């Protein structure tokens, strides 16, 4: 079926009120989009990112009376309505279009990330078959790519890799396919742990090689041979002593989710526990790696 879209220009103050008004008059869905190419990289905890210039779109059934919708919206929204546009959204197979947008990605000499619904580009490569499902992590984002590239360069044979902030499990599963014996996945979202287990099964990884924990469930004696954490700069700063505590001397750590402007701060913080601090950059994002100091 087709849909009617009401698209309105809003600012940071009016976006939420417009969203409420659209829902009140019967919108099937309301979305907010950046209206001026203003990235929001790291919202605060519990904060929903809203841009200074925001496009608010309400979706309505095609048989709705457009004139009546506009009258109802004007009555529901207490201020004068901002500029708006009425559009017809033709019916499309959105799931198929989403699936078609993901292509296999080469992340090093050995490793490829391949959507589970596609054939691998190189059948002889290390192919991680991935269904992102409800969790973050497809390999397309620079931070994920940087971590995968680093894993591809490591000798992980027989090792235990801790994937802190695992999302879809892509990093820990890649480590297993590259030779690691075990992955320990940690995430504060239960859906991420479900996605991690599902993706491990999809890659024919035995369940006993994957352990999943919420942060509150982490065993006190947890340890690994490598840590990879692709989250955000704020949590990485707070977690530094905890992540360092999981590692023995001369074992590596890989951090990402870091903007290039945050590199000095993170490098200085982790230099208390790690040596050989190194950086790699992709677009505006950094990967920081190091080796655990003795003692």
- Going by C-alpha positions, the residue among 159, 53, 177 that lies closest to residue 107 is 177
Region 259-267: what's the mean pLDDT?
Answer: 95
What local confidence, expressed as pLDDT, does residue 12 receive? 75
The answer to whether 124 is annotated as binding is no
169 in Cβ contact with 195 (< 8 Å): yes
pLDDT digits (tens, 9 = 90+) for 234-262: 999 999 999 999 999 999 999 999 999 99
Q: Which helix (H) or strand (E) holds 271?
A: none
Residue 187 labeled ligand binder? yes
The pLDDT mean for the chain works out to 87
- The Cα–Cα gap between 78 and 275 comes to 58
Task: Identify the pLDDT of residue 99.
Answer: 55
**Total-model pTM:** 0.69
- Its sign, for the CA torsion 193, 155, 239, 280, is negative
Question: In angstroms, what CA-CA distances link 113 with 62, 81, 132, 153?
Answer: 39, 46, 11, 15
Distance of CA 282 to the CA centre of its chain: 16
Whole-angstrom Cα Rg for the chain: 23
Contact present, 160 and 183 (Cβ < 8 Å): yes
Q: How many helices (H) and strands (E) does the chain have?
A: 8, 14
Ligand-binding annotation for 100, yes or no, is: no
230 in a labelled binding site:
yes
What is the distance between the alpha carbons of residues 275 and 278, in angstroms, rounded to a whole number? 9
Q: What is the pLDDT of residues 14-69, one digit of tens each?
A: 888 999 999 999 999 898 877 544 444 444 444 445 566 788 999 998 889 999 99
Q: Which domains does the chain have, with CATH numbers?
A: 3-91 (3.30.70.260), 103-292 (3.40.50.150)
Average pLDDT over residues 162-189: 95
């Amino acid at each position: 079926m087709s849909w009617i879209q009401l698209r309105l220009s809003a600012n940071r103050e009016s976006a939420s009120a417009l969203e409420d008004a659209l829902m009140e008059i019967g919108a099937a869905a309301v979305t907010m989009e950046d209206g001026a190419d203003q990235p929001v990289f790291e919202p605060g905890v519990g904060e929903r990112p809203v841009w200074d210039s925001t496009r608010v779109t309400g979706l309505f059934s095609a048989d709705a009376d457009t004139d009546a919708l506009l009258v109802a919206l004007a009555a529901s929204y207490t201020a004068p309505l901002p500029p708006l546009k009425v559009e017809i959204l033709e019916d499309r197979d959105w799931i198929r279009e989403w699936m078609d947008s993901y292509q296999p990605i080469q992340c090093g000499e050995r490793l490829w990330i391949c959507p589970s619904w596609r054939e691998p580009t190189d059948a002889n490569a290390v192919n991680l078959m991935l269904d992102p499902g409800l969790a973050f992590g497809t390999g397309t984002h620079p931070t994920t790519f940087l971590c995968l590239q680093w894993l591809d360069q490591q000798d992980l044979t027989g090792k235990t890799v801790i994937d802190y902030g695992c999302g879809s499990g892509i990093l820990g599963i890649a480590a297993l396919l590259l030779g690691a014996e075990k992955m320990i996945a940690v995430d504060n979202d239960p859906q991420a742990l479900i996605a991690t287990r599902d993706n491990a099964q999809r890659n024919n990884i035995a369940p006993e090689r994957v352990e999943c924990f919420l942060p509150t469930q982490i065993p006190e004696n947890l340890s690994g041979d490598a840590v990879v954490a692709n989250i955000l700069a704020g949590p990485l700063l707070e977690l530094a002593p905890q992540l360092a505590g999981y590692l023995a001397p001369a074992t590596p750590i890989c951090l990402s989710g870091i903007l290039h402007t945050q590199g000095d701060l993170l490098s200085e913080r982790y230099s208390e526990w790690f040596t050989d601090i190194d950086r790699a950059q992709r677009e505006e994002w950094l990967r920081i790696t190091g080796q655990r100091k003795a003692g």
